[in-house]
Amino acid sequence: MTKIDVLLGLQWGDEGKGKIVDVLTPAYDVVARFQGGPNAGHTLEFNGMKHVLHIIPSGIFHQDKLNLIGNGVLIEPRIFRQEIEGIAEKGVDATKNLFVSKKAHLILPTHRMMDAANEQAKGNSKIGSTLKGIGPAYTDKIARNGIRVGDTLASDFRERYELLKVQHLRMAQTLGFDVAAFRIDGMTLDEYENVWMESLETLKRFRFVNSEYFINQCLREDKKVLAEGAQAMMLDIDFGTYPFVTSSNTITAGVCTGLGVAPTAIGKVMGITKAYCTRVGAGPFPTELFDETGRRLCELGHEYGATTGRPRRCGWIDLPALRYACMINGVTELYVTKPDVMNDFDTVCMCTSYEIEGRRTDEIPFEYNTVQIDPVLTSFEGWKQELQGITEYGKLPEKLQRYLAAIEEQTGVRIAAVSISPDRKDVLFK
Ligand code: IMP
């Protein structure tokens, strides 16, 4: 029996996971998503075209690969349909190689409404959710009220749907939320519900599977399986910067619960980090830059959310957070993305530890959200060189190689590859 390899983001998301999965996919037979939902936006660029995937695994553009949406994922049928139509326009018929777990939970229109209602009720302490209904749908899953993909085939599906919807409407009323004024993509709740129900029919054209058997069978047949993480380590519900997190386990352990594989079946753990750091939405970010350098990272790195279009907050790479991510996830190799964004920088910095109330620490404190954290920075001379056209890791500028070596030394994990442009071809393996 072969093992399942894992690929995940080690920061606050948007590390370029979609692109790295896409590059690695030729070596795999199956790509599986294990958590998250349409809050994710995995951007792939090839042949001069850009594709953003939200729920569908990034292996979908390789037609000979199987793709699985696991039990830990949330599906919003209308967003799913839009994605299916989007890739169909690019000539991909996903019905052939995309499988959906019967146990994956559905995001109802009223989950999306509840996301907006909860955020509104939080006022100034809002999370900055993508408002795709993630928190409320996972809440219903844990509270044992959720509706799963397989339930859509049951005769009492509509009844269960209505029951849950009524509950949500009552909760919204309690929160003083104006349901009549609420819109999703310009549609009222009733209008959106019609589109949502129609979209369920698209979802039903796909093969619903008992995904835990499906994936274990693949491993038994020695198929190579890649688990594709969404969001990232620092947004994990347990170990992220709670409550400014998403509502799922984004870490390696989430692969076990989100696909039904045993911990002993985990193989390589590939962690993705940008050469700097970004965060979208609210919450602590010790290395955030509020100056011209931060603005340059945002502009040069095109740091705008793939799902929401919001500008991302930018700062230096944060090694205490990265070491924490390597520890929690058992990262076996690192992939570093976007050093090219800093090609023109005179100086590039990395945060090697934190100073909190005059005390140095290498750990992520429990009080991450409430104390003042000053990053202790080490500076490196910028490499001041275009990277485009470089085709080998060893030919990268020496100063950049020194910067990368420092990341390896600080984390104790070797770098497997560096990505120097959005294009598939520009991933240089070491
Ligand atoms: P939610 O998961 O949509 O409720 O959002 C919770 C927090 O996670 C917010 O700060 C979002 O900006 C952030 N978030 C959720 N999904 C992603 C992602 O795929 N990339 C980056 N940030 C995300």
Taking the C-alpha atoms of residue 53 and residue 249, their distance in angstroms, rounded to an integer, is 20
CB of 272 closer than 6 angstroms to any ligand 1 atom: no
Tell me, what's the pLDDT at 425?
86
CB of 278 closer than 6 angstroms to any ligand 1 atom: no
Q: Are strands 317-318 and 313-315 parallel, antiparallel or unpaired?
A: unpaired
Write the single-letter amino acid at 58.
S
Taking the C-alpha atoms of residue 327 and residue 345, their distance in angstroms, rounded to an integer, is 31
Instruction: Give Cα 59 distance to the centre of its chain.
Output: 15
Mean pLDDT of 380-386: 97
**pLDDT tens track for 417-426:** 999 998 888 9
What Å distances lie between residue 257 and 251, 260, 263, 270, 333, CA to CA? 11, 5, 9, 18, 22
CB of 328 closer than 6 angstroms to any ligand 1 atom: no
Flag the least confident range among 50-54, 207-211, 400-404, 409-413. 50-54
Mean pLDDT of 182-200: 98
Whether the per-residue pLDDT at 368 is higher than 80: the answer is yes
Mean pLDDT of 360-374: 95
Taking the C-alpha atoms of residue 294 and residue 271, their distance in angstroms, rounded to an integer, is 24
| 346: annotated active-site residue | no
How high is the mean pLDDT of the chain? 96
Ligand 1 nearest-atom number relative to CA 40: 19
| 54: annotated active-site residue | no
Whether the per-residue pLDDT at 306 is higher than 80: the answer is no
Mean pLDDT of 45-72: 90
Distance 231 CA to ligand 1 centre (A): 6
CA dihedral sign of residues 202, 204, 210, 215: negative
pLDDT band at 45 (very low <50, low <70, confident <90, very high): confident
pLDDT band at 70 (very low <50, low <70, confident <90, very high): very high
Mean pLDDT of 70-84: 98
Which of 39, 118, 239, 245 for a ligand 1 pocket mutation test, highest count of atoms within 8 Å of Cβ? Answer: 39
- Structure letter (DSSP) for residue 33: E
Mean pLDDT of 352-363: 96
pLDDT band at 47 (very low <50, low <70, confident <90, very high): confident
CB of 215 closer than 6 angstroms to any ligand 1 atom: no
Residue of 411, 8, 5, 10 whose CA lies nearest to 240: 10
- The DSSP-derived string for 277-313 is EEE-SSS--TTB--SHHHHHHHHHTT-B-TTT-PBPE
- Alpha helices by DSSP H, listed for 36-188, are 77-89, 109-122, 134-142, 157-174
Tell me, what's the pLDDT at 46?
75
Whether the per-residue pLDDT at 308 is higher than 80: the answer is no
Residue of 146, 51, 139, 137 whose CA lies nearest to 91: 51
Write the single-letter amino acid at 423.
D
Calculate what percentage of the chain has a pLDDT beyond 90. 90
Write the single-letter amino acid at 377.
L
Whether the per-residue pLDDT at 319 is higher than 80: the answer is yes
CA dihedral sign of residues 167, 171, 173, 177: negative
Taking the C-alpha atoms of residue 206 and residue 99, their distance in angstroms, rounded to an integer, is 6
Beta bridge partners of 98: 67
**pLDDT tens track for 247-282:** 999 999 999 999 999 999 999 999 999 999 999 989
Catalytic residue among 14, 318, 340, 426: 14
pTM score = 0.95
Which of 52, 56, 246, 369 for a ligand 1 pocket mutation test, highest count of atoms within 8 Å of Cβ? Answer: 246
* In 144-276, beta strands by DSSP E: 207-209, 225-228, 266-274
Place of tokens 């199956």: 30
Whether the per-residue pLDDT at 22 is higher than 90: the answer is no
pLDDT band at 116 (very low <50, low <70, confident <90, very high): very high
Taking the C-alpha atoms of residue 242 and residue 236, their distance in angstroms, rounded to an integer, is 8
Taking the C-alpha atoms of residue 208 and residue 102, their distance in angstroms, rounded to an integer, is 5
pLDDT band at 284 (very low <50, low <70, confident <90, very high): very high
Calculate what percentage of the chain has a pLDDT beyond 70. 100
Mean pLDDT of 170-186: 97
Flag the least confident range among 54-68, 220-234, 288-302. 54-68
Distance 131 CA to ligand 1 centre (A): 9
- Structure letter (DSSP) for residue 26: G
